[in-house]
Chains A and B, each alone.
Chain A
Amino acid sequence: MISCKEAAFISSKNQYREANLKERIQLWMHLLACKACAAFARRNKQLTQLCKEASVKMLSPEEKKEMKALIEQS
């Protein structure tokens, strides 16, 4: 059985669907037995959901470079 630390780590990786089959099975087994980690995994999934809903947008590195240049000029 994997530790809680490992389980939490895999749970984060799983949010991007990049945990492999072995890891997913280990996580699933752990979550069945451990309520604290199950709660963590739920919140982790919730965060993924929030990020999708939020439509946060970042300025591109080019736009930032442009901004910095304009600030330096003034």
Chain B
Amino acid sequence: MGKNELQPENWVDRYADYLFNFTRVRVGDDDVAKDLVQETFISGLKASERFKGQAAERTWLVAILKRKIIDHYRKSNSLKGKTEVRMSYPVHGDQEGDWLEAQAADPESIRENDRIENNELGVAIQNCISMLPEKHARVFTLKTVQGWSTEDVCNELEITSSNLWVMIHRARTSLMECMNEHWFKNT
């Protein structure tokens, strides 16, 4: 695994939907979920010099997001919501100033964590969609998740309908394989 680099300019396009679904199954409120994802990106940006490139970019953002979710629950559980909760970095010796990525450096363990988290169907599908080529993911999402008509998708993306069906078919074929690997084998 080579060094990873952060590319904040691509974060929203690449990870927003994944992180959003990851969050909404945990907090049960779409608006809150959106805010937490937003905060995660901003915290990620501010903490970017602490990113050491050991973990994948997305794993790193998920680690930050988890802190935000815990934070959210602490705030909403505290009386009158007045208690301020400050999250701190682990402060034992060498680990000072590290995000969780230090503990997730082993690619195998990243996969272990992914497997547990993917136990929610929506997140699993979203995860598989995020592995598709960007344009295929876009076409598949508009058509299948948003339920757009073929004509609307073609107009929006300026493609022909035969083009659309080729992309849909390829996307579905990859998704079937991916879901077989990540979903059916674990349930």
Contacts and interface: CB of A to CB of B under 8 A. Distances in A.
B102 interface: no
B146 interface: yes
B51 to A, nearest CB: 16
Nearest to A66: B38
Interface SS of chain B: helix
B150 A18 contact: yes
A56 B18 CA distance: 10
Given A50-B121, A74-B46, A57 B11 contact: no
A59 B16 contact: yes
B42 to A, nearest CB: 5
Please indicate which of the listed interface residues B11, B12, B16, B129 has the most CB atoms of chain A within 10 Å of its own CB: B12
Nearest to B20: A59
Interface residues of A, number: 29
B163 to A, nearest CB: 13
A41 to B, nearest CB: 11
A71 B42 CA distance: 6
Nearest to A73: B42
B168 to A, nearest CB: 6
A1 to B, nearest CB: 20
B79 interface: no
Interface in B123-157: 124-126, 129, 141, 143-146, 150
A48 B179 CA distance: 12
Contacts of B173: 8, 12
Interface string B13-40: 1001100110010000010001001100
A12 B16 CA distance: 27
Given A47-B176, A70-B42, A56 B12 contact: no
A15 interface: yes
Contact of B169 (A13, A48, A51, A71): A13
Given A12-B168, A71-B12, A71-B42, A58 B122 contact: no
A67 interface: yes
Given A9-B169, A15-B172, A63-B34, A57 B21 contact: yes
8 contacts: A12-B172, A15-B172, A56-B129, A57-B20, A64-B13, A67-B38, A70-B38, A71-B45
Given A51-B125, A59-B17, 15 more contacts: A9-B165, A13-B165, A15-B172, A18-B150, A47-B176, A56-B125, A56-B126, A58-B141, A59-B20, A64-B16, A67-B12, A67-B41, A70-B42, A71-B11, A71-B41
